[in-house]
Amino acid sequence: MLPDLIGQLKLETYNFSSHSVSDREKIICGFDFKNLESIERFKKYGVKDLVPFVTCGRIEFIYFSDRFLGFDGFEKLSDFDAIEHLVSVVSGVNSLVVGETQIVSQFKKAFYDAISAGLATTKIFSIFSEVMRIEKRVRSEINIPSLSFGSVVKSKSLEIFGDISDKVLFVIGTGEVAHDIYRISKNFKKTLIFSRKKDRAEQKVKKIQEFFGADSEFICSIEQGIEIADVVVVATGHFGFLIKPDFVKNINKKKKIFFDLSVPRNISPDVCNNENILLYNVDSFRRTVADFETIELAKKIIKSEIDKLKFRVEMERKVKDIATLKSDFQKIITDYTKKYLNIPEDEIEDFSKSLSNRLLARFFEDMKSADIFTDSQEIRSFKKSK
């Protein structure tokens, strides 16, 4: 089954590597991700098991089909290349923030949501399982630093202010990325939270107090939060600007940092017209923190695992072919033996099985002698040094 699925696997990606945040937000605004089944192109191309994988750094469609959907500007990958790409993303090697941890849960959620929405069946989990298996090996053996948006916000705030223990953090949003920002709340004097869903925001305030031991409270308006806060983080699914230049026009002689982690963006770029405002969007987070050698070895492990997967898939194909050939061979031997030799039928059966089994034995002997399952000397040396 896996060989057939990989053969039909297609992936189209539009990501931070080649497209800016302004380009990505245009794509996101152009799709109704809740009603993808209504898009004529998906129906026309016979797409099966569609998984939209959308984060602040990428818009990707993972699906089974005989041909690509062909969205303009999207890079197109298939079979093993698609799996290698997904592993690089989920392992943090080719992620917006190298080593970021949120991408794993976002990837899992994309698959579960697609199945829940009826866009995909559990058959797609064959691909999901292979990606997660290799991702776990990469993260555990290469030890890429585990980072998150929260850790980068904290690092940047410390870089600019020096000390943040007397600063106020203002978080707009209550989703997964916002939750990661809550984890750094104990480093600040106080944390303010705003969401249009007041009940949900108040629940988050309670959790911050209970789990992170931080002073936090719900605030009634964005303008009020901006006025009080030193560090403002916006992470929502809202389409449009929640913070406009008018919101910061009265800020004088007090430096503030704004982090817009939303795509589409929620903070107008024009707020930078105020000299006291420092604004960072998701593309500002794009950086490599792991050393070059570590990243290169991570890529080698991924390539090694993909080669093993290719070999395994090829073996499955051959086993299937050999099994069919064995059955045909056994029948031919049986028919000819019955026709030309006058021996008991049970002996004919044993004779035909013996000859056909030799065919399989030769095949598996070749497979056993292959060294595809052995890591390269470079990878083994690196692991020993650790």
Domains of the chain: 2-142 (3.30.460.30), 151-285 (3.40.50.720)
- The tokens describing 169, both together, are 């953090």
For residue 267, the 8-state DSSP code is: B
* Cα Rg of the chain (Å, integer): 28
Residue 296: Cβ-neighbour burial (10 angstroms; 0-12, 13-18, 19+)? middle
* Nearest-angstrom CA–CA distance, 192 and 170: 5
Name, in order, each residue with C-beta under 8 angstroms of 119's C-beta and a sequence gap of 6 or more. Answer: 36, 37, 49, 50, 51, 52
The per-residue DSSP string of 294-325 comes to HHHHHHHHHHHHHHHHHHHHHHHHHHHHHHHH
- Residues 237, 177: contact at Cβ < 8 Å? no
Residue 304, pLDDT score: 92
- Residues 181, 149: contact at Cβ < 8 Å? yes
Residue 373, pLDDT score: 54
Pairing state between β 168-172 and 190-194: parallel
Of 217, 95, 231, whose CA–CA distance to 155 is shortest?
Answer: 231
Residue 53: Cβ-neighbour burial (10 angstroms; 0-12, 13-18, 19+)? buried
* pTM, two decimal places: 0.78
For residue 272, the 8-state DSSP code is: G
Name, in order, each residue with C-beta under 8 angstroms of 169's C-beta and a sequence gap of 6 or more. Answer: 181, 184, 185, 188, 190, 191, 192, 229, 230, 231, 233
Neighbouring CB atoms inside 10 A of 248's CB total 24
- The tokens describing 323, both together, are 């099994």
Residue 333, pLDDT score: 77
* Nearest-angstrom CA–CA distance, 130 and 309: 9
β-pair partners for 170 = 192, 232
Of 26, 47, 220, whose CA–CA distance to 119 is shortest?
Answer: 47
Divide the 386 residues of the chain into consecutive groups of 10 and give the mean pLDDT of each group. 86 94 91 71 77 93 91 95 96 86 90 89 91 92 80 92 94 86 91 85 83 85 91 92 89 86 93 88 75 84 92 79 70 77 76 74 62 57 54
